[in-house]
């Protein structure tokens, strides 16, 4: 290997290994982020606080209430609260929904084709409101089936859930978190790598030597690539063994893709490093340009298909978008490279552009 390059790589490794504090942060922060987010972000809903107003007080109404309780989704917190003051239950955050059974419930059931039960929902969380509505309808269906054997159902949908049959949020979020964390940490690692040398004045000393920009850039990326890969591997292991996310596809392919993505993250940081003047600004800039777009626009939480068209275009420029598709496909669906070469190509392209611009920005002249 080139003598100059190997000297730079050796030196970078020494910086990394000697700075124990940073090293600990590099490996501890992702673990903490994964575990915290892994538990905090959970779209599965349970224990919806439910109040029931039973004006009917008949065997029929009690039967209906039994059905509601039997579904794990609802948790009865209040029975027959003050009917004139129902809204205060929502305002005091004591209930998410209130079921009101009318006093003529039993009579109507027996003599009329349709009986109505009122459901009041706190829709300040529209997503939850939707769930509540669906669940209670399901309960009503169960009740109908139990009490009327002659219901004719001309059409019924028979769902079969693939890749995540138990609909576990973790399967969705853990791969996403891995994508966010790798990008963030890798970009942070390199973002301060060159700025630190600018601040300390050591860069000047290197710039008066015959070193070429490409040597400095590669010399910085290679050591951090190893660190980034080890860190990524570590959170992958945690995601798999702790959160139980399967790896349906090739582990080797997954790791190769991760290395590619690590390089993308490092290139991101490097570009920031070449254009900023202080470590603090570099870190702030990195946090802003990696975390926000990655979480909002990569499909990590919000589906890209439902974004406005311009944002869909922007999301294509975000590395995490492509890696998310890759990691979810490999981990959950067991997809191979033949279905993922487009995403891999996009990541490679983004990295090359970022590295190219960094190299260009990183002129051998200081100003």
Partner 1 sequence: MRSNGYAVEVENLTRIFGDFKAVNDISFQVEKGEIFGFLGANGAGKTTTIRMLCGLLLPSSGQATVAGFDIYKEYEKIKQHIGYMSQKFSLYEDLTVRENIEFYGGVYGLSRKEISDRTKELLDYLNLNQQADHLTKSLPVGWKQRLALSTALLHNPPIIFLDEPTSGVDPVSRRNFWLLIYELVEQGKTVFVTTHFMDEAEYCHRLSIMKDGRIEAMGKPRELKIKYSADNLNDVFLKAVQGGAANE
313 to 111, 250, 310, 324, 325: CA distances (angstroms): 58, 30, 5, 16, 16
Q: How many CB atoms sit inside 10 A of residue 99's CB?
A: 23
Instruction: Convert residues 207-226 into a mask of x (bound to partner 1 by CB under 8 A) and - (unbound).
Output: xxxxx---------------
Q: Which is nearer to partner 1, 274 or 329 (CB)?
A: 274
Residue given tokens 């139990």 in the structure block: 146
Instruction: Convert residues 162-201 into a mask of x (bound to partner 1 by CB under 8 A) and - (unbound).
Output: --------------------------------------xx
If one asks whether residue 278 binds partner 1 (CB under 8 A), the answer comes out as no
Q: Which span (15-23, 106-114, 129-137, 324-332) binds partner 1, by CB under 8 A?
A: 15-23
At a CB cut-off of 8 Å and minimum separation 6, what does 274 contact? 194, 358, 361, 362
If one asks whether residue 14 binds partner 1 (CB under 8 A), the answer comes out as yes
Q: Which is nearer to partner 1, 155 or 366 (CB)?
A: 366
If one asks whether residue 36 binds partner 1 (CB under 8 A), the answer comes out as no
Among 127, 205, 278, 280, binds partner 1 (CB under 8 A): 205
Measure CA of the first residue to CA of the last residue in the chain; give whole Å: 31
If one asks whether residue 160 binds partner 1 (CB under 8 A), the answer comes out as no
Residues in the chain: 367
Q: Which is nearer to partner 1, 7 or 78 (CB)?
A: 7
- Is-contact 330 247, C-beta < 8 A? yes
If one asks whether residue 206 binds partner 1 (CB under 8 A), the answer comes out as yes
If one asks whether residue 78 binds partner 1 (CB under 8 A), the answer comes out as no
Q: Which tokens go with 287? A: 């946090």
If one asks whether residue 25 binds partner 1 (CB under 8 A), the answer comes out as no
> What is the widest separation between alpha-carbon atoms in the chain?
96
For residues 67, 70, 72 and 76, what is the CA-based torsion angle, rounded to 10 degrees?
70
Q: Which is nearer to partner 1, 20 or 111 (CB)?
A: 20
In sequence order, what are the beta bridge partners of 78?
51
If one asks whether residue 3 binds partner 1 (CB under 8 A), the answer comes out as yes
Q: How far is it, in rounded angstroms, from Cα 76 to Cα 69? A: 7
Count of chain residues binding partner 1 (CB under 8 A): 26
Shortest gap between Cβ of 367 and partner 1 (angstroms)? 6
What backbone torsions phi and psi does residue 119 show, to the nearest 5 degrees? -125, 115
User: Site residues (CB under 8 A) for partner 1?
Assistant: 3-4, 6-8, 10-11, 14-15, 18-19, 200-202, 204-211, 364-367
């Amino acid at each position: 290997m080139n003598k100059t390059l190997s000297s730079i790589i050796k030196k970078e490794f020494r910086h990394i290994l000697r700075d124990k504090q940073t090293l600990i942060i590099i490996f501890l922060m992702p673990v903490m982020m994964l575990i915290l987010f892994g538990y905090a972000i959970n779209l599965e809903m349970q224990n919806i606080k439910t109040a029931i107003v039973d004006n009917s007080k008949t065997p029929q109404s009690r039967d209906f209430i039994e059905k509601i309780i039997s579904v794990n989704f609802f948790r009865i917190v209040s029975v027959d609260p003050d009917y004139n003051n129902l809204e205060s239950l929502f305002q005091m955050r004591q209930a998410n929904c209130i079921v009101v059974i009318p006093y003529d419930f039993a009579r109507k059931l027996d003599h009329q084709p349709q009986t109505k039960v009122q459901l009041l929902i706190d829709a300040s969380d529209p997503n939850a409101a939707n769930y509540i509505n669906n669940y209670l309808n399901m309960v009503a269906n169960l009740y109908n089936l139990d009490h009327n054997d002659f219901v004719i159902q001309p059409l019924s949908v028979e769902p079969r859930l693939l890749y995540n049959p138990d609909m576990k949020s973790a399967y969705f979020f853990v791969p996403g978190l891995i994508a966010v964390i790798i990008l963030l940490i890798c970009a942070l690692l390199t973002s301060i790598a060159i700025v630190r040398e600018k601040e300390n004045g050591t860069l000047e000393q290197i710039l008066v030597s015959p070193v070429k920009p490409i040597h400095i850039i590669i010399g910085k990326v290679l050591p951090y690539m190893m660190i980034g890969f080890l860190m990524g591997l570590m959170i992958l292991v945690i995601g798999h063994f702790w959160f139980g996310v399967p790896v349906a596809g090739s582990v080797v392919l997954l790791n190769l893709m991760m290395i590619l993505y690590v390089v993308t993250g490092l290139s991101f940081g490097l570009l920031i490093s070449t254009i900023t003047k202080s470590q603090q600004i570099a870190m702030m800039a990195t946090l802003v340009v990696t975390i926000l777009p990655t979480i909002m626009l990569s499909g990590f939480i919000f589906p890209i298909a439902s974004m406005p068209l311009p944002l869909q275009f922007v999301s294509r420029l975000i590395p995490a978008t492509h890696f998310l598709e890759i990691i979810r496909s490999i981990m959950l669906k067991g997809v191979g490279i033949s279905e993922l070469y487009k995403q891999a190509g996009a990541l490679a392209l983004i990295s090359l552009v970022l590295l190219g611009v960094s190299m260009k920005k990183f002129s051998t002249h200081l100003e």
